[in-house]
Amino acid sequence: MFGAGVLLLFGFAANALRAAEATPALEIRADKVAGQFSPMLYGLMTEEINYSYDGGLYAELIINRTFKDNNQSPVWWHLVQDGGAAGSMSLDTNQPLNAALTTSLKLEVSQASGNQRVGVANEGYWGIPVKPNTRYRASFYARAGASFSGPLTVAITSTNNSTVFASAQVRQITGEWKKYEVTLTTGKVTPTKDANFAIWTSKPGTVWFSMVSLFPPTWNNRLNGNRVDIMQLLADMKPAFLRFPGGNYLEGGTFDTRFNWKITVGDISQRPGHMDDAWRYWSSDGMGLLEFLEWCEELRMQPVLAVYAAYSMRSGAATNKLDECVQDAVDEIEYVTGDTNTKWGAQRAKDGHRKPFNLEYVEIGNEDNLGSGGRTYDQRFTAFHDAIKARYPKLKLISTATSRFQALTRVPDVIDDHYYRAPQALAQTGFQYDNYDRSKPKIFVGEYASQTPAPNRQMTPCLGDALGDAAFLTSLERDSDVVIMSSYAPLFVNVNPGGMQWQTDLIGYDAMTSFGSPSYYVQKIFNLNHVDAILTDNGVNIPKYEYTPPVGRGGRGGATPPQPTQLPSLDFNATRDTKSGTIYLKVVNTSDTDQAVQVKISGVTSIASAGEMVAISGKGPLDTNTINDPTHIIPVTSKVSGLGTSFTRTFSKYSVTVLLIKGR
């Protein structure tokens, strides 16, 4: 049933395995520590792409809540009128709420009385999720015309308006802008996302709306907070850090559409939002600088703060604004770390967070080896470096000009490498760090993903991608004395039609539910099963297959080498918990054949026969999880026996295994 492209995925391995004459052996020296494992190796990278925050993690349910998504019409809103009532709605820029929210929605009701009603309804991000016995916080700003004073009904209704799932009344509306808040509580409803949020009246007159908001319960019940189910998926990964806010989203197409952190803080009614022209949709900036930091705090992640480095993707370097951009970055660091005696630390306290955040890493820009960025990066990096180090000497600075491009006058502490490649090519990429000069800056693999080539590439990674990722990660783990951080990208995708701008993405969702891809589960089991000491290991008789990368670029992040190459179909690494003596052996069988492997462990007094294993496997490379089949491929934990200083185990085809071996 698989197309030719799929057979090519890891299919070369079978021939190689048949050709292998002796059983492959993994030799592990438990007493020979090759390096210290980086506790920061596994983290997250995030930006506004694929409806990651709006329509994703940020729990706001109203799309186009400030009526700025489109300046011609109130997109995603429609008029509700029934029972013979009549009215109209339109965008209005007269008498706006404030200088940030310059457009409001004007509802004119020409005919309504008794049971008739006229109102406005919002479709949500591909639906409003209705769940039983749930409290939703609705709020909006309104201003009434001379002949109107309410009341207004606020409700969550079915899309055909026949069912009201929850409703509340606002009795009176005044002629001045004012915020109104109600709680909408559902009863024993059947969960559905075929729902709208609506505000209507049965009285004639005119009323204007601004900043219309609806929140379900959020993680930690934080106001303006995050969606619970997606936060749970992230919490389960125990990520060490969050790289934000991008990615291309940080840079924007032009200086004006960069992530300008100063307009993303303060009350949401004071945030103008901005066009995310990197990914072509409006960003509410509800997920602003403080919300990113609170997200870090809630999951105990270190913030890895990427600052705008005076370069945007279409307009190029803004070196004439370099001083302003450097000052913005220094101010931003003060907002994050400053105490309340500082200007920006005081602003953070005013915004609701008195305690400064810990910050260790600041990244200067994004992918500055690409486009024309490389030509000015040295100048720009030097300016940021000197200003930031002068004020914050302990901060570690990350350069985005990749480890293959190091012509910088100021030596960065860390270099950010990005790889989007076919699974085999990504697996191969990992080996380069075995020979990386340890005297050079540390490495942050700030973006990576295995991407099965078209036409088999899917919205979220399939098992074949997960195998490529796992093979790559065994290399990063082996070299994590120098590769200190890694993060998959992109992290999120709203799986609805039109929700995706970039394929593939780690976690998928719609309005109602979310799921982890096989690659998500690989990261999860790798991160939950790593320890402090990297062990020396050696593979003997490891079967190989020939792989020829496609000619040309492997996506943004670098060209793939065109030469045919021999790649192992078994990838592995071993770490040891110095305290308990437990050895964690990770084995990735990327081939289409079950593979018996001899494991030899030296440098221990004894190995317990009983151990444990966590494994992910499937029938074929295209096996995957989807919104309708979210747990098709998940890790399975089981007890194992027969372990010792020398034992043979069979690793099933297309599998990722972590063996927990108790040694003394």
The footprint of ligand AHR (CB under 6 A) covers: 47, 246-248, 366-367, 447, 489-490, 502, 556
Q: Least Å distance between CB 558 and ligand AHR?
A: 11
Q: Does residue 490 have a cis bond before it (omega within 30 degrees)?
A: yes
Tokens in use for 13?
A: 């391995």
Query: How many of the other CB atoms lie within 10 Å of CB of 562?
Result: 11
**Residue 297 Cβ, how far from ligand AHR at the closest point, in Å?**
24
Q: Which residue, 247 or 568, has its beta carbon nearer to ligand AHR?
A: 247
Cα separation, 412 vs 626, in Å, equals 41
Give the residue with the Cβ less far from ligand AHR, 518 or 554.
554
What type of residue sits at position 90?
Answer: S
Q: 376 near 325, Cβ under 8 Å?
A: no
- Distances in Å between the Cα of 589 and the Cα atoms of 341, 358, 544, 570 are 56, 40, 11, 5
| Whether the Cβ atoms of residue 482 and residue 41 lie closer than 8 Å to each other | no
Closest CB 295 distance from ligand AHR, rounded Å:
18
* CB of 558 or CB of 620, closer to ligand AHR: 558
Measured between alpha carbons, how far is 418 from 407 in angstroms, rounded to an integer?
18
Rounded least distance, CB 47 to ligand AHR, Å: 6
**205 vs 252, which CB is nearer to ligand AHR?**
252
Q: What's the per-residue H, E or C state across 59-128? A: CCCCCCCCCCCCCCCCCCEEEEEECCCEEEEEEECCCCCCCCCCCEEEEEEEECCCCCEEEEEECCCCCC
Q: Is 368 helix (H, G, I), strand (E, B) or coil?
A: coil
Q: Which is nearer to ligand AHR, 364 or 614 (CB)?
A: 364
Nearest-angstrom CA–CA distance, 282 and 284:
6
Is the Cβ of residue 225 or residue 247 nearer to ligand AHR in the bound state?
247
47 vs 577, beta carbon nearer ligand AHR: 47
Residue 282's closest CA among 582, 55, 583, 16? 55
Beta strands across the sheet bearing 44-45:
44-45, 241-244, 302-307, 361-364, 396-399, 414-421, 442-450, 483-486
Shortest reach from residue 264's CB to ligand AHR, in Å: 18
Give the shortest CB-49-to-ligand AHR separation in angstroms. 6
Is 92 or 447 the residue whose CB approaches ligand AHR more closely? 447
Q: Which residue, 421 or 649, has its beta carbon nearer to ligand AHR?
A: 421
d(CA 126, CA 510): 7
SS3 152: strand
Closest alpha carbon to 485 in 525, 448, 445, 440: 445
For the bound state, the minimum distance from the C-beta of residue 620 to ligand AHR, rounded and expressed in Å, comes to: 27
User: In whole angstroms, how close is the CB of 136 to ligand AHR at the nearest point?
Assistant: 32
Residue number with CB closer to ligand AHR (452 or 590): 452
Q: Give 590's Cβ-side CA count (13 Å radius).
A: 38
Q: Rounded to the nearest whole angstrom, what is the least distance from the CB of residue 301 to ligand AHR in the complex?
A: 18
Closest contact distance (angstroms) between CB of 366 and ligand AHR is 5
Nearest to 325 by CA among 430, 255, 247: 255
* Residue 556: CB minimum distance to ligand AHR, A: 4
Q: Which residue has the tokens 């409003």?
A: 128
* Tokens describing residue 594: 């079950």
Angle in degrees, 0-180, between the axes of helices 423-430 and 463-478, rounded to the nearest 10: 0
Residue placing its CB nearer to ligand AHR in the complex, 369 or 569: 369
Residue placing its CB nearer to ligand AHR in the complex, 249 or 335: 249
> What is the nearest approach in angstroms of ligand AHR to the Cβ of residue 27?
38
Which residue is closest to ligand AHR by CB? Answer: 247
Q: How would you list the strands of the sheet with 655-662, edge to edge?
A: 636-640, 611-617, 655-662, 582-589, 570-576, 533-540, 25-36, 595-602, 646-651
